[in-house]
Structure 1
Amino acid sequence: MNDNYHPARLDYGLTTFFGQITKTMDCEVGLEMVADDPYRFTLHVKAPVPDDLDKAKIVVVKVEGRTLQGTVRHFEQRDDKSLTLEVEPD
């Protein structure tokens, strides 16, 4: 896991009974490429994370002057309460 975190702005989209909603949070994230799929990236969101972040369908992250966005394909809750999201760019 990446221990090199950076301040970021994270927008994430949730599909609810009432339609699509977007939430925003300031957080610390680490980025890595997915080993077997060079088009996807892994986003490690340092705890604390919102209770509904693991239900996100799309994410837009602004970190280190870059904006990355895509569809969440997989997530994993970590023992330290952080969350790892595997994202396929749009």
Structure 2
Amino acid sequence: MKSTQLTSTVHLDYGLDTLFGRITKSAECQVGLEQVEHDPTRFALRVQPPIPQDLEQAKTVLVKVDGRRLNGIIRHTERLEDQSLKLEVEPE
């Protein structure tokens, strides 16, 4: 799996489903971009601490990384040993 260097702090928008519908939240995070093994159509974002408390429940994400605007539906989240959060995203 190939990954990028951590970027400087980036603006991350993410959507949460609530009883009142979807709400969008924003955070400033350090993010690395990775390819997803066995699925070249997806990408993964590795978000470094501090991580927004509700980011693990997010359903969608929008971020600009390495000059690219990336957005999609979060299909899998995983908390890693280094306390980072890996979001596997299917582009929209």
Query: So what's the TM-score if we normalise by structure 2?
Result: 0.90
RMSD: 1.5
* Structure 1 residue 3: Cα displacement: 7.2
Segments of 4+ in structure 1 off by > 3 A?
Answer: none
SS of 1:54 mapped into structure 2: helix
Give the corresponding residue for 1:25: 27
1:54 to 53, 56, 70: 56
In structure 1, stretches of 5+ residues that fail to align are: none
In structure 2, stretches of 5+ residues that fail to align are: none
- Structure 2: distance between partners of 1:60 and 1:5: 17
Residue identity over aligned pairs, in percent, reads: 54
CA separation of 1:12 and 1:3: change in aligned 2, threshold 3 A = same
Give the corresponding residue for 1:43: 45
Query: So what's the TM-score if we normalise by structure 1?
Result: 0.92
In structure 1, what residue type is equivalent to 2:79? Answer: Q
